[in-house]
Structure 1
Amino acid sequence: MNTLGGCAARPAQQPPQPTVMSTQHQAEVTMSRNPARSTSVDFLRGLALIVITLDHVSQSALSHLTLHNYAFCDAAEVFVFLGGYASGAAYCAMTASGGAAQAHRRFLKRSGEIYRGYLLTAALMLLCGLAMLALHIHSAILTYTDAPLFLARPFQTLLDIATLRRQPDLAAVLPMYIGFALCVPLVAPVVRRRPATALLASLALWLCAPSLAHLLPSADPIGWSFDPFAWQLMFMFGMLCRLHPVSAVFQASRAGLRRTWIALAVALAFAAYKLLIENQPEPGYLKQHLSSLRVVSFVSIAWLVAQLSRLGWIDRLAAALPPVVTAGRQGLACFVWGTLISIVADTALQVAAPAFHTRTQAVVAALSADLLTIAAVLAVAIISARLKANRPIPRRQHRTGQYGCQSVIAAAFVNRYQDAARSLVLSAPNVARGHLQDKEKSPELEALLHAGNAMLRSDRVAVVDRLVASDTPSVVRDHMTSKPVRVPH
């Protein structure tokens, strides 16, 4: 699922070595220890964010085609699962480049970023609610903004929101993510070394979640909209799938195909029930505490999507729709501003509804609003990515070798292939930095080059990701991983 390029081919004088693609166990070890950013995963995250935004628009036409209409799960499960997947990959990359201490600091910082995103989302919702009240727009979404409650008890409402006791509806998933980010450095080592123990502990906590929900601070007697004691199971599934992936050989085997047929049968049965039998919305507590029905529904669909990914369909979609990939990489920004976009779109459709005299006019207006909503989310992603790319990166003050280059990639190639160094061209080498220095660079690169075939994309992913820092901008990584570089001898 990962894309990469820009590694040297194996030196000609060395005997042939087993490749990562030809040795499945080696592939699993390589990918779990050297996690790279996956374009297909980012594509799925971006798609989930777009679906979440559309689902928040009550008059949306495209929301009738989204997952919750055909399954007992929705984009929330997808988003949380992929969040666990990405967190597992990020933890491995951070520990490889800077140790466990760096991972702890980064996830602590990330939890602060999510908390600020939560506060910004709540503020945007309050402002939208106050604007609707000022304009005498009484939309159904007004209640979810907490604006009426704010006018009645402003200080108490703000205090409750800041302390997570009251969570505006559309921002309710973020407080759960804050806890997940704080727990990743503590849980990830267990997941890596003892996956069965981690899974059993997660299942036990999920089973006990309804009785533990009252421990969470809440001004609402119902409690948190997303019970973190329950939803951690979905996050754990994502981490396990990243750190202990199911091999492609098994997926294509007879046993794997049997599982595919079972998953397809379950998904079709649930879809038939939702379309033909169900006549009322499912109770909210099923989603709040992540019911077993939702878990089974998601697992069946996730397995089917994994088969599409194995066959290359997701990669082709990602290559055809790069803005969606960018949205997945700018997840927090797209979620926060997507909330504002969905409120504006929903309110606009509600206000314009009396002007629609025919069903056709209403459908055309809803489709137009959907397209504008999608375009707005993608615009937020592109702007956020450009702002991050232009952000100045502080230089580290330490010795980087006789060439004065902080890039481990450049330094390692220069050290190993001095005669060919003139032909190498690297993008932003000061950005693509790594943790190895001096004499450690050559043996590390040599071992990686001989562990796999640099002409295979998955092998190049593992090699380059081991040598660059976890915070390397995606535009640099994508350029480095686009195609292999042959170094003459």
Structure 2
Amino acid sequence: MKSLATLPTKGRDLRLDLFRGVANWGIFLDHIPNNIVNWVTTRNYGFSDAADLFIFISGYTVAFVFARMMLERGFIIGASRLLKRVWQIYVAHVFLFVLYLAEIGYVAQSYGNSSFTDDFNIRGFLANPAPFLFEGLMLRFKPVNMDVLPLYIVLMGVFPPILWLMLRRPNMTLAASALLYLMARYFGWNVAAYPTGVWYFNPFAWQFLFTFGAWFALGGSAQAMPFIRSRTALVLGIGYLLFALVMTMAARSDELRALIPPDIYGAFNPNDKTNLAPYRLLHFVVFAFFVVRLLPRDWPGLEWRMFRPAIKCGQQSLEVFCAGIFLSFAAHVVLVESSGATWIQIVVSIVGILMMTALAYYRSWSKNADKAPAKSKPIVAVAG
């Protein structure tokens, strides 16, 4: 079957690295409660946030990396390489899962603060570790803030046949993904969590954003470009972003909320993140269209020194993400056990981002060192 998708241009797209790095920083800051610094993140100014950006870029990147391999070397090779990456992410998740549980449990016992075990959903684990550990390995039990990686693992694990179909019928595949999204919202489909409840990120809903990212990489952006560059898209997009800003700020301001009819305010608050509300999805799509319109792939600013730390964090995204989860709890403990003053909030936020960035530079250096060819030693002739 002939491919109808447009393969992305070879070479690294620094826009992906930049925004993935920013998303990792945003997730870290958003996971620190009562932190004034997380006012700089996007969740305060619209319906979508760093998690939406992370999942979209993940879908885009998977298509970017594995689509050409699947076409040139066949489905089996492409799928096996993709699943190898899934295994690597799963191993990273298990490693983080164990460390995170140990971190929370140790701190809770050392400081005699049982609220940590309740706030981060590990009281059941401490009381009866075996079933919780097993369910954690099955991705059903997740301490607070550990919801993104299981979603990522599941979405990538089922993606090989979807990518195969998208390479041949990209628009049809996106339409099927949209239908699943709508049906999941209508029928209330989700995956059971352990010991109770459902997944915080409903995979039946969030799969659409992941698939949309892949579609965008495989020619979708080119198809949408006439609309993206149109005056209509510009006016409607700006209007919708301003509307989202007002609705989001109203949740934090009693004076502003009083100016909005209750029925309108209630339609957008609280923000339905679990099931990826349509208004949230639309907000992110508008944001993505604006990025494509205003930030071309060859923008010289991507080489500016000021963007290098974020780009480096995006290039080492898995390690940086895991470190951010671990560090966000450490920062939370510092704020709880100290005065929590504004200057402390700023310090722990900056220190955390600096540590994530240092890890990214180290991992980049380490990978390059592993790839460096060994220098051949001169052969010395020995006279007989």
Q: TM-score range by the shorter chain?
A: 0.7 to 0.9
Separation in structure 2 between the aligned mates of residue 256 and residue 137 of structure 1, nearest angstrom: 59
Name the structure 2 match of 1:374: 353
Match among 264, 289, 292 for residue 275 of structure 2: 289
Name the structure 2 match of 1:447: none
Separation in structure 2 between the aligned mates of residue 277 and residue 333 of structure 1, nearest angstrom: 34
RMSD between aligned alpha carbons? 3.0
The answer to whether the 8 Å contact 1:213/1:223 transfers is no
Match among 305, 328, 341 for residue 327 of structure 2: 341
Deviation, 1:313, is 5.9
Separation in structure 2 between the aligned mates of residue 89 and residue 174 of structure 1, nearest angstrom: 20
Change in CA separation of 1:91 and 1:152 when aligned onto 2, cut-off 3 Å: same
The answer to whether the 8 Å contact 1:172/1:226 transfers is yes
Change in CA separation of 1:298 and 1:139 when aligned onto 2, cut-off 3 Å: farther
Name the SS of the counterpart of 2:111 in structure 1.
coil
Asked if residue 320 in structure 1 is aligned to residue 306 in structure 2, the reply is yes
Deviation, 1:262, is 1.0
Change in CA separation of 1:378 and 1:197 when aligned onto 2, cut-off 3 Å: same
1:227 partner amino acid: N
Match runs of 1:87-486 below 5 Å: 87-95=62-70, 98-138=73-113, 141-210=116-185, 216-247=191-222, 250=225, 256-276=230-250, 282-283=269-270, 286-310=272-296, 315-316=301-302, 320-353=306-339, 362-391=341-370
Separation in structure 2 between the aligned mates of residue 211 and residue 239 of structure 1, nearest angstrom: 24
Change in CA separation of 1:271 and 1:151 when aligned onto 2, cut-off 3 Å: same
Name the structure 2 match of 1:78: 53
Deviation, 1:222, is 2.2
Separation in structure 2 between the aligned mates of residue 120 and residue 249 of structure 1, nearest angstrom: 40
CA shift digits 1:342-400 (9 cap, x unpaired) = 111111111112xx6xxxxx22211111111110111121122222223359xxxxxxx
CA shift digits 1:233-253 (9 cap, x unpaired) = 1001101110014349945x8
2:245 partner amino acid: A
The answer to whether the 8 Å contact 1:43/1:318 transfers is no
The answer to whether the 8 Å contact 2:320/2:356 transfers is yes
1:240 partner amino acid: W
The answer to whether the 8 Å contact 1:88/1:239 transfers is yes
Tell me the percent identity.
25
2:208 partner amino acid: L
Instruction: Note the residue ranges of structure 2 that are not aligned, 5 or more in a row.
Output: 255-267, 374-384
Name the structure 2 match of 1:445: none
Name the structure 2 match of 1:455: none
TM-score when normalising by structure 1 = 0.67
Higher-Rg structure is: 1
Change in CA separation of 1:390 and 1:255 when aligned onto 2, cut-off 3 Å: closer
Deviation, 1:215, is 6.4
Change in CA separation of 1:255 and 1:375 when aligned onto 2, cut-off 3 Å: closer
TM-score when normalising by structure 2 = 0.84
Change in CA separation of 1:62 and 1:44 when aligned onto 2, cut-off 3 Å: same
* Count of aligned pairs: 359
Separation in structure 1 between the aligned mates of residue 89 and residue 177 of structure 2, nearest angstrom: 23
Change in CA separation of 1:230 and 1:220 when aligned onto 2, cut-off 3 Å: farther
Name the SS of the counterpart of 2:145 in structure 1.
helix
Separation in structure 2 between the aligned mates of residue 254 and residue 351 of structure 1, nearest angstrom: 49
The answer to whether the 8 Å contact 1:46/1:326 transfers is yes
Name the structure 2 match of 1:475: none
Deviation, 1:166, is 0.9
Deviation, 1:310, is 2.7
The answer to whether the 8 Å contact 1:144/1:170 transfers is no
The answer to whether the 8 Å contact 2:104/2:117 transfers is yes
Separation in structure 2 between the aligned mates of residue 343 and residue 368 of structure 1, nearest angstrom: 15
Deviation, 1:142, is 3.8
Change in CA separation of 1:144 and 1:117 when aligned onto 2, cut-off 3 Å: farther
Name the structure 2 match of 1:54: 29
Higher mean alpha-carbon deviation, 88-97 vs 376-385, is at: 88-97
Higher mean alpha-carbon deviation, 209-218 vs 195-204, is at: 209-218
Instruction: Note the residue ranges of structure 1 that are not aligned, 5 or more in a row.
Output: 1-28, 357-361, 394-427, 429-489
Deviation, 1:43, is 0.7
CA shift digits 1:311-362 (9 cap, x unpaired) = 9668437653212111111111111111111111111111112xx6xxxxx2
Name the SS of the counterpart of 1:288 in structure 2.
coil
Separation in structure 2 between the aligned mates of residue 49 and residue 141 of structure 1, nearest angstrom: 23
Separation in structure 2 between the aligned mates of residue 170 and residue 110 of structure 1, nearest angstrom: 22
Separation in structure 2 between the aligned mates of residue 265 and residue 314 of structure 1, nearest angstrom: 29
Higher mean alpha-carbon deviation, 332-341 vs 164-173, is at: 164-173
Name the SS of the counterpart of 1:322 in structure 2.
helix
The answer to whether the 8 Å contact 1:129/1:142 transfers is yes
Separation in structure 1 between the aligned mates of residue 201 and residue 225 of structure 2, nearest angstrom: 34
The answer to whether the 8 Å contact 2:59/2:212 transfers is yes
1:297 partner amino acid: H
CA shift digits 1:285-316 (9 cap, x unpaired) = x1111111211111122222222213966843
